[in-house]
Structure 1
Amino acid sequence: MKYKVVALKLLRAISLICIVIIFAMPFVWMMSTSLKSLGETIIFPPKWIPADFHWSNFEKAWNSGPFLRFFVNSILVSVGILILQFCTIIPAAYAFARYRFKGDTFFFGLTMITLMIPAQLIFLPVYLQMSAWGLLDTLWALILPFASSAFGIFLLRQSFKQVPEELIEAARLDEASEWKIIIKIMVPMAKPVLITFGLFSFITHWNDYFWPLVMTTSDASRTLPIGVTKLLQVEGGVAWHILMAGNMILVLPILIVFFFAQRQIIRAFVYTGVK
């Protein structure tokens, strides 16, 4: 029996190591390629560790276009979307979690149905609406269509439903307004869930390529994923080392945000799982 337990633990450890390798290998390869010379990127068999670390690849990628503008646009769009989403999903989730009104199940189901509609299916009417408002080729065209999130409403509603009703009733007996209950009680208790959703939202819109491609036409309004594609022809061909350096610049903010938010993500899943 003892050997069986040891064997199972060993098998589990090997499985976890294999999973980590599978998911980490593309990132390690991208990082390695970003530090190679052009010749080292096309040799076979490939080399994982470059002979010399070419840090100048990052400088070339950054200076190949208005990368600072792309970077700032990505921050403005991702953060702008997140702020608007918090302003809409928090009261909506509170209403669905704590109020009973005619048609509440229907409206919540209608909200969830939007999760099954891909962006590629609705981009044309949204595009026409943005055009009618004169917002094409502006950052607003990248922000306003995502001002709310059905996934965020669902996730936050589940968290709000776990708050004891007695706590809310006690706040109402103290004549606390609904907004005060939301801000002082619900939001602090749902902080891990809010941070988790914020991270998912930030990553999704930071990496978004399709929407900026169809909604913008000039570099003044485009974001970093569009800018990275311009690196394909930096040196007259596919300069893989420059392209990978640009991808490293693209992914670095995500890694930084994840590093600071990982504890809250774990807390969010543990909290919802225990309940």
Structure 2
Amino acid sequence: MPSESRTAGGPRRRIGLRAVVAYLIALLTVAPLLWLVLTVFKPAEEVFRNGLPSRFTLDNIRYVLTEVPFGRYLFNSALVSLVVTGVALILHSMAAYALARLRFPGRTVFFYGIVSTLLVSLPVILVPLFLVVRELGLLDTYAGLILPAIFHAFGIFLLRQYYLNLPRELEEAADLDGCGYFHRWWRIVLPLSRPALASLAVLFFLANWNAFLWPVTATRDPDLRMVQVGISTLQGQYGSAWNHLLAATVIAAVPTVIAFLAGQRRLVEAIKTSGLK
């Protein structure tokens, strides 16, 4: 019996050690975020002072929301992110379904051509994209911020792989009822793809909310600044008001946290009700 207890105690100690290591890693990951949130409520003279503030204040947040047109920046980012996400999900889903189910010459080559664009980063095509948008007269417009951000090969790739795993029997049954490709996609495939669409919606929203390079290139009008560009305006050439900068960062992070939590819940619900095992 003592030998058995010692044998059982070994795995328990290993599990306990792993838990301690996991907690330490989690603490190291969360510590900078806790410091950021805590610093926002410190007076300006205590920003770089360790420990709790001598008094908690909302002056930093109040300054960002009243003295800076940060509400306009939040509105611009929300508008662009929501429109891009909605349009991209519809168009990417249609393209992915066509590549997964339709039979046409060069389908594989066309798919590989789309995926190959993942190797091209935005800085590589920034100048040509700027020239095209300028020729179309879309600089300093919402359309100039939205249209170039809609297409992304990752969305098409992910949805196409998801559609390849859907059971064809459901679509064949709809075919017997006289449904064409569009009605199959709209009535059968699209509802079944809610888990993938929920995941992509979160990714697209976060990517466009945090976009900086293209918005700062395509807009000069202060009324069209997105939130990340607006945060950059709080940095001066010879110094920065770090208390205001950190407050703006925390405010800008709130919608992303909400989007992530809402998307996570929708993803779980979609998996439960999608009808797929």
| Structure 2 CA distance for aligned equivalents of residues 130 and 110 of structure 1 | 23
Matches within 5 A, 1:118-197: 118-197=121-200
| Structure 2 CA distance for aligned equivalents of residues 99 and 18 of structure 1 | 51
| Structure 2 CA distance for aligned equivalents of residues 129 and 30 of structure 1 | 40
Please, which runs of 5 or more residues in structure 2 have no aligned partner?
1-6
Q: Indicate the SS of the match to 1:171.
A: helix
Q: Indicate the SS of the match to 2:233.
A: helix
Shift of 1:122: 0.5
Task: Tell me the residue number matched to 1:103.
Answer: 106
Max radius of gyration: which structure? Answer: 2
User: Which moves more between the two structures, 86-95 or 261-270?
Assistant: 261-270
Structure 2 length-normalised TM = 0.89
Query: Contact (CA 8 Å) 1:156, 1:193: kept in 2 or not?
Result: yes
Shift of 1:71: 1.2
Please, which runs of 5 or more residues in structure 1 have no aligned partner?
none
Shift of 1:237: 4.3
The alignment's C-alpha RMSD in Å is 2.2
State the one-letter code of the partner of 1:13: A
Q: Does 1:57 align with 2:63?
A: no
1:52-97: per-residue Cα shift (whole Å, max 9, x none)?
2211211101223221211111111111111221221011110111
Matches within 5 A, 1:69-88: 69-88=72-91
| Structure 2 CA distance for aligned equivalents of residues 87 and 12 of structure 1 | 44
Q: Does 1:6 align with 2:12?
A: yes
Alignment match of 1:15 (pick from 18, 21, 33): 21
| Structure 2 CA distance for aligned equivalents of residues 152 and 85 of structure 1 | 8
| Structure 2 CA distance for aligned equivalents of residues 257 and 195 of structure 1 | 11
Query: Contact (CA 8 Å) 2:194, 2:267: kept in 1 or not?
Result: no
Task: Tell me the residue number matched to 1:215.
Answer: 218
What percentage of aligned pairs have identical amino acids? 33
Q: How many residues align?
A: 268
Shift of 1:266: 5.7
Q: Does 1:27 align with 2:33?
A: yes
Runs of 4+ in 1 over 3 A off after TM superposition: 263-270
Q: Does 1:67 align with 2:61?
A: no
1:147-173: per-residue Cα shift (whole Å, max 9, x none)?
222111111112111210111100111
Task: Tell me the residue number matched to 2:241.
Answer: 239
| Structure 1 CA distance for aligned equivalents of residues 256 and 219 of structure 2 | 23
